[in-house]
């Protein structure tokens, strides 16, 4: 009899639990589709995948970066202006940030920058928040110490715990890794406009040590402020290296010495972007054309034409570059393009690193209702890459990629011959 | 305390007795009559390159002799200066006589026709320490005949060494990070303090590794994955040479062209240069000679390469042992090589951490050791090397260490090419084109 009662109690408890689930679950799609009364796509589920916010100072320091040396930090600077336009703001105060994640400060980021993963797919599925710029190596802390978890007299004075120390010494964190070393493994690729206001096409950046010998050093396009990488100054959307391997190799990146895993003999970065690079930092690699698209020459001409056909054209009238293969093996290998980084002492004046964490999973609420897409647009205001817009809007409105697919391929873009941005159109500036 | 099983009251059956008698009869004579009773004691002759850390060689000789005592073998170890390794090995294969084991600091692919297949040595080790690791496989496997021409047991990473105090003076306290900043920072240091950059550009091991690393990091690959010529088939070769030229002009010293072996190390120890790439034997030497200098030398992973190459540097050393096919003691030699893996941990310690084990299981706490080094100040200085395996591909990458690639390496073709540019004898384009012709000749020869 006792046993029956006991089992009946368990049965009732389970039934009640299932009932609660039935009550909750049907509401989710309704919230998803309506996004009722909140900036967030789904406030009910915001806790598990909240939209991005700036990190708090302590978290920056814990991860080896001096927050006072951040340039253009969201939450402090740049509330208006690029990438925001018109009435848009790049960030808003939001007290939920610190509640959802105690490592965040209460400024939620609305400017959501889109880009391409450098995995060869050409799919515009990356969404990042450019929280701040780092223009000098001195921003990386060399010494820092903070004790966490210390308890002195908890539980009526009985509990004592000295806590643990988060320390940085000689620039190395408690795992003996320098933040700078981690970050150097992750490259974010910026494509600055090379066409100057007077219509001249500059084939090198204005930074002496970045100049490619493939082209004249002057005229040059400016890279001497962090503003140089603001969206209005870009000819195409961002690209991001895809060596952001999972530590366990589950994403098929090469993380070991097993020939079956890494048959080319090259291991990808030992660091995991989402587990080591907790600030989501990237070293900024500028990439540019070293030939004038109006006169690319016999070697580069066919290469540019083929890329035109495949990817469409940038605001400069040069082909859009979507993959590492296109940049490294087609353009750079043939002397049609180059890449480089700014001097780490800040002497070039622009951004050397970015604090721009990628949104780990842009689905299910990470793209808030009031967020806006930061992407390169054509002079007529239309997006250069409509697929990016499509992905963003779908994620924002339904919490998923279009057609519930995990990714959406970009729409085929018109080659320069079919657009107003034909080769030599010159002076096409937004 | 371990309790032994009791045998009290156990009876010995007739079957047990007969089995015991048979076993005793079969192995007894080997206990009673040592091998030397049947034949004269064999001799195992080993030639090895002189290690940068002398303590390692002292230990190695002792360990080898101990092994000999346990295997009734007289072991003779001949240490050879690095510069004579190739000539000595070539002389031995020409006459078909010499040492039984020849230990190189690089993959001796050129001698594959005179080497046994070392696959069975790897197999012997596999039961204890696992399958052959990638770096060893790609450094000692000949994809043409599908045999292992050598056995690799350790390697030495090649990080950037830089004087932190110098670089802090020009606003780069954490080192140059990428090749652009090496040039711009190096120029400032030379202009301000007359301290040049100290990369080795000489036809030495240091120069070879440094320059092959720069070429690789600029995607100026010598051969492709199939072993065919790739050098100068795109613009990367001439661009890499132009970078080296600019680096030298902006921040270098003529000494970089004339240093002898370890010249870059000596310059750093004398604080005459601001940075170099080398095995950590440099820092170890500093710790021993002048701890104050050592504290100022910091390590950094290799510089971020260009054209999508990421952070990468070739190994300073890939320790590869060859058992010649004309060796009279092949079995003993094989066993010696397999057994030496058991001593990898001691080898790591005796080399003062220079010798990274090919088999990670032999030094399972490598990362902990790197973060708490007893000689280093601070003790975690060497933790910059903890991911060295990830940024160190094999010589010959993106392919194997083929005979053609290793002939390019050993003939110092790359340092000679670079020097012709730096001395103003050739333009980068001309030097790259000339080198490509020479490389093609070498590739054709080995086909």
Q: Nearest by CB to B219, from A258, A328, A347: name it.
A: A328
Residues of B whose CB is below 8 A from A256: 134
Overall average pLDDT of the B84-110 stretch: 98
Which CATH number among 3.50.50.60, 2.60.120.590, 3.10.290.10, 3.40.190.10 corresponds to the domain B160-314+411-446? 3.40.190.10
Residue B130 Cα, gap to closest chain A Cα (Å): 11
Residue of B nearest to A267 (CA): B390
User: How many Cβ atoms are within 10 Å of B200's Cβ, its own excluded?
Assistant: 28
Report in angstroms the alpha-carbon separations of A127 from A132, A295, B176, B248. 15, 35, 30, 41
Is the minimum CB–CB distance between B173 and chain A shorter than 8 Å? yes
| Topology of domain B41-156+316-371, CATH | D-Maltodextrin-Binding Protein; domain 2 (3.40.190)
| Average pLDDT over every residue of B275-301 | 97
Q: Residue B51 and residue B281: Cα distance in Å, rounded?
A: 9
Domains in chain A: boundaries = 39-150+159-418
Helix (H) or strand (E) holding B395: none
Domain residue limits, chain B: 41-156+316-371, 160-314+411-446
Would you state the pLDDT for residue A16? 44
Identify the three-state secondary structure at position B221: coil
Residues of A in contact with B234 (CB under 8 A): 333-335
Which range has the worst mean pLDDT, A79-88, B20-29, B363-372?
Answer: B20-29
Least confident of A121-130, B153-162, B416-425: A121-130
CB contact, 8 Å: A169 with chain B?
Answer: yes
Q: Which residues 77-106 on chain A approach chain B with CB closer than 8 angstroms?
A: none
Q: Which residue has the higher pLDDT, B315 or B370?
A: B315
Q: Would you state the pLDDT for residue A13?
A: 47
Phi-psi group of B407: left, alpha or beta (phi > 0 → left; psi -120 to 50 → alpha; rest → beta): alpha
Selecting from A169, A327, A339 the residue whose C-beta is nearest the C-beta of B378 gives A169
**The tokens of A20 are what?**
């609660």
Nearest residue in chain B measured CA to CA from A332: B307
- The predicted pLDDT at position A254 comes to 56
Which range is least confidently modeled, A113-122, A410-419, B7-16, B308-317?
A: A410-419
Q: Of B236, B301, B370, which is closest to A333 when you measure between CB atoms? A: B236
> Is some CB atom of chain A closer than 8 A to the CB atom of B381?
yes
Residue A242 has a pLDDT of: 64
The reply to whether domains B41-156+316-371 and B160-314+411-446 share a CATH topology is: yes
B199 against A407, higher pLDDT: B199
**Confidence band for B41, pLDDT divided at 50, 70 and 90:** confident
Task: Please check whether residue A264 touches B, CB under 8 A.
Answer: yes
Encoding tokens for residue B169?
Answer: 């003076």
Identify which of A47, A56, A102, A96 has the alpha carbon closest to the alpha carbon of residue A75.
A56
| H/E segment holding residue A204 | none
pTM above 0.90, yes or no: no
Q: What is the pLDDT of residue A417?
A: 35
Indicate the residue of A169, A180, A269 with minimum beta-carbon distance to B177: A180
Residue A159, strand partner residues: A154
Contact B225/B198 with Cβ under 8 angstroms? no
pLDDT band of B32, cuts 50, 70, 90: very low
Contacts with B, A 9-48, CB within 8 Å = none
- DSSP code at position A334: G
**pLDDT(B422) > 80:** yes
Contact indicator for A351, A31 with CB cutoff of 8 Å: no
Predicted confidence pLDDT, tens digits, chain A (430 residues): 444 455 554 554 444 434 433 333 333 333 232 222 345 444 444 457 899 999 999 999 999 999 999 999 999 999 999 999 999 999 999 999 999 999 999 999 999 999 998 777 778 888 999 999 999 999 999 889 998 888 887 777 777 888 888 888 877 776 677 888 888 888 899 999 999 999 999 999 999 889 999 999 999 999 999 999 999 999 999 998 765 554 444 445 555 545 555 555 454 555 555 556 789 899 999 999 999 999 999 999 999 999 999 999 999 999 999 998 999 999 999 999 999 999 999 999 999 999 999 888 899 889 999 999 999 999 999 999 999 999 999 999 999 999 764 444 333 344 433 332 222 222 222 2
Give the list of residues 6+ apart from residue B369 with CB closer than 8 angstroms, or none.
B348, B353, B363
Q: 3-state DSSP call for residue B5?
A: coil
A145 close to A132: Cβ distance less than 8 angstroms: no
CB nearest A333 (choices: B174, B183, B235): B235
Tell me: pLDDT of B51 over 60: yes
| Rounded distance between C-alpha atoms, residue A353 and residue A132, angstroms | 9
């Amino acid at each position: 009899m006792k046993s029956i009662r006991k089992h009946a109690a368990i049965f009732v408890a389970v039934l009640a639990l299932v009932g609660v689930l039935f009550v909750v679950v049907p509401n989710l799609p309704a919230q998803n589709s309506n996004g009722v009364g909140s900036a967030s796509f789904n406030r009910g589920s915001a806790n598990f995948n909240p939209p991005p916010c700036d990190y708090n100072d302590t978290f920056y320091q814990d991860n080896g970066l001096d927050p006072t040396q951040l340039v253009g930090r969201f939450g402090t600077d740049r509330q208006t202006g690029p990438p925001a336009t018109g009435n848009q703001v790049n960030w808003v105060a939001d007290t939920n940030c610190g509640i959802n994640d105690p490592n965040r400060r209460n400024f939620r980021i609305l400017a959501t920058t889109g880009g391409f993963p450098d995995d060869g797919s050409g799919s515009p599925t990356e969404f990042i928040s450019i929280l701040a710029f780092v223009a000098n190596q001195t921003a990386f802390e060399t010494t820092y110490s903070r004790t966490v978890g210390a308890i002195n007299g908890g539980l009526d004075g009985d509990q004592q715990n000295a806590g643990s120390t988060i320390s940085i010494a000689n620039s190395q964190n408690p795992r003996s890794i320098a933040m700078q070393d981690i970050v150097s493994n992750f490259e974010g690729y910026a494509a600055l406009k090379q066409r100057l206001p007077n219509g001249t096409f500059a084939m090198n950046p204005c930074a002496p040590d970045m100049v490619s010998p493939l082209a004249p050093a002057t005229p040059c396009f400016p890279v001497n402020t962090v503003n140089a990488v603001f969206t209005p100054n870009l000819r195409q959307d961002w690209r991001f290296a895809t060596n952001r391997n999972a530590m366990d190799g589950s994403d098929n990146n090469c993380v070991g010495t097993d020939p079956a895993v890494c048959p080319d003999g090259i291991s990808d970065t030992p660091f995991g972007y989402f587990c080591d690079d907790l600030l989501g930092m990237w070293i900024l690699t500028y990439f540019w054309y070293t030939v004038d698209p109006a006169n690319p020459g016999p070697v580069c001409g066919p290469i540019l034409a083929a890329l035109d056909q495949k990817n469409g054209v940038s605001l400069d009238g040069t082909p859009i570059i979507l993959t590492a293969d296109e940049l490294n093996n087609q353009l750079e290998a043939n002397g049609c393009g180059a890449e480089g980084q700014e001097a780490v002492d800040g002497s070039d004046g622009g951004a050397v690193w970015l604090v721009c964490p990628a949104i780990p999973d842009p689905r299910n609420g990470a793209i808030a209702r009031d967020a806006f897409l930061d992407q390169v647009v054509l002079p007529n205001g239309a997006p250069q890459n409509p697929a990016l817009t499509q992905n963003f809007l779908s994620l924002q409105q339904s919490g998923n990629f279009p057609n519930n697919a995990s990714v959406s391929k970009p729409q085929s873009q018109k080659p320069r011959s079919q657009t107003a941005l034909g080769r030599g159109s010159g002076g096409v500036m937004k | 305390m371990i309790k032994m099983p009791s045998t009290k009251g156990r009876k010995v059956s007739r079957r047990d007795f007969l089995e015991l008698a048979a076993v005793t009869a079969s192995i007894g004579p080997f206990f009673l009559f040592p091998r030397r009773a049947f034949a004269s004691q064999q001799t195992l002759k080993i030639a090895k390159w002189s290690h940068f850390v002398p303590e390692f060689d002292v230990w190695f000789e002792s360990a080898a002799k101990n092994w000999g005592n346990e295997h009734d073998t007289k072991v003779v170890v001949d240490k050879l200066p690095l510069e004579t390794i190739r000539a000595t090995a070539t002389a031995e294969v020409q006459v078909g006589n010499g040492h039984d084991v020849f230990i190189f600091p690089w993959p001796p692919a050129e001698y594959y026709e005179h080497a046994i297949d070392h696959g069975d040595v790897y197999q012997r080790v596999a039961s204890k320490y696992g399958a052959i690791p990638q770096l060893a496989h790609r450094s000692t496997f000949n994809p043409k005949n599908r045999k292992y021409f050598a056995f690799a047991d350790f390697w030495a990473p090649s990080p950037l060494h830089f004087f932190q105090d110098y670089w802090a003076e020009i606003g780069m306290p954490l080192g140059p990070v990428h090749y652009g900043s090496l040039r711009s920072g190096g120029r400032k240091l030379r202009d301000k303090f007359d301290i040049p950059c100290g990369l080795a550009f000489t036809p030495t091991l240091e120069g070879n590794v440094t320059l092959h690393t720069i070429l690789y990091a600029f995607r100026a690959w010598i051969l492709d994955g199939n072993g065919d010529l790739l050098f100068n088939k795109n613009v990367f070769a001439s661009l890499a040479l132009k970078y080296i030229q600019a680096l030298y002009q902006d921040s270098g010293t003529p000494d970089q062209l004339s240093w002898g072996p370890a010249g870059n190390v000596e310059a750093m120890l004398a604080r005459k240069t601001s940075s170099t790439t080398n095995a950590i034997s440099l820092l170890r030497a500093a710790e021993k000679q002048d701890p104050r200098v050592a504290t100022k030398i910091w390590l950094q992973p290799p510089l971020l390469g260009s054209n999508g190459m990421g952070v990468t540097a070739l190994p300073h050393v890939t320790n590869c042992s060859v058992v010649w096919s004309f060796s009279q003691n092949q079995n003993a030699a094989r066993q010696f090589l397999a057994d030496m893996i058991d001593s990898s941990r001691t080898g790591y310690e005796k080399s003062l951490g220079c010798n990274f084990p090919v088999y990670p299981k032999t030094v399972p706490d490598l990362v902990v050791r790197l973060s708490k080094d007893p000689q280093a100040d601070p003790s975690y200085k060497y933790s910059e090397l903890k991911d060295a395996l990830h940024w160190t591909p094999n010589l010959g990458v993106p392919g194997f260490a083929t005979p053609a690639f290793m002939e390019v390496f050993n003939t110092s073709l790359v340092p000679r090419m670079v020097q012709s540019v730096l001395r103003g004898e050739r333009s980068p384009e001309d030097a790259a084109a000339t080198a490509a012709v020479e490389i093609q000749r070498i590739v054709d020869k080995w086909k």
